[in-house]
Amino acid sequence: MDPALYRGRFAPSPTGPLHIGSLIAATGSYLEARRHGGQWLVRMEDLDPPREMPGAADLILQTLDIYGFEWDGEVLYQSTRADAYETALDTLRSRGMLYPCGCTRKEISDSAVHGIDGPVYPGTCRHGLAAGKTARAWRVIADDREITFDDTLQGHLSQHLSRDIGDFVVKRADGFYAYQLAVVVDDAAQDISHIVRGCDLLDSTPRQIYLQQVLGLPTPGYTHLPVATNRAGEKLSKQTLATALDLQRPVPALHRALQFLGQTPPSALLNADLKTLWQWAFLHWDPERIPRSRSIPAPA
């Protein structure tokens, strides 16, 4: 493809410092963008203040810098994007696809069947709030469509939104915008052509493609990398107490991330400087070598 058209991105949430799992996602998306001669953007997904850690956004950018990532343009902060998200909600509203929901979490889990990502919303408020209920969240109607897509690593995937997910929240009861909405609006606003990220977001992708379709936005290409798991088989994250990346010694962690992604950096490069390791990676990066599984135990 025309290199000018390839635009990738890394979109961390500032809930804590970067760890080996986030480094793997950043490295995969960066090297794919470089391979295509395209651009690579960083977007700070700071739209969930209750889960955020003070100082994490700056620490993440500092870490990326120390690890030798060079991003294009300014970092986009989702906390500045409320107008764009409201415009998208207006579009959904004008198409009759948005409605207020007064159900509590407990009411939903008591009455719903379990889907692939929690309870499938039973549609209680779809035709109006029941007497005595006040609007809490805003949901988009998930119609009967089957969403299918081809992931470059994970293959052909499909999801039936109304059966597997149900009407889903696009603006939360606490007033914050839902990740699913914000990510779609911003990927389009930033002209992202390819999304390379962890498999933990694979089940979210059909909701995002659906929102792209109903909002009239383009659908980018998708590559979902295997996620690193701990000994208990859980995805490494702040919640599972993943260790923060070492800011003093970027080379060993980057070397491990490359190995995790199926690449074969010579062990001698463990003693090289960071620039030399990146040069090796730019020259030898081969996406065909990335394991096609959804999760792999984290490298020691």
| Interface contacts to ligand GLU, rule CB under 6 A | 11-13, 45, 183, 197, 201
Give the separation between CA 195 and CA 192, rounded to whole angstroms: 7
Nearer to ligand GLU, 125 or 193 (CB): 193
Shortest Å distance, C-beta 225 to ligand GLU: 11
Shortest Å distance, C-beta 11 to ligand GLU: 4
Nearer to ligand GLU, 226 or 265 (CB): 226
Nearer to ligand GLU, 206 or 265 (CB): 206
Give the separation between CA 192 and CA 208, rounded to whole angstroms: 13
Shortest Å distance, C-beta 197 to ligand GLU: 4
Shortest Å distance, C-beta 115 to ligand GLU: 20
Pairing of strands 155-160, 146-151: antiparallel
Shortest Å distance, C-beta 292 to ligand GLU: 19
Give the separation between CA 296 and CA 211, rounded to whole angstroms: 30
Burial 195-228 (b: 16+ CB within 10 A, else e): bbbbbbbbbbbbbbbbbbebbebebbbbbbbbbb
Nearer to ligand GLU, 171 or 197 (CB): 197
Nearer to ligand GLU, 199 or 277 (CB): 199
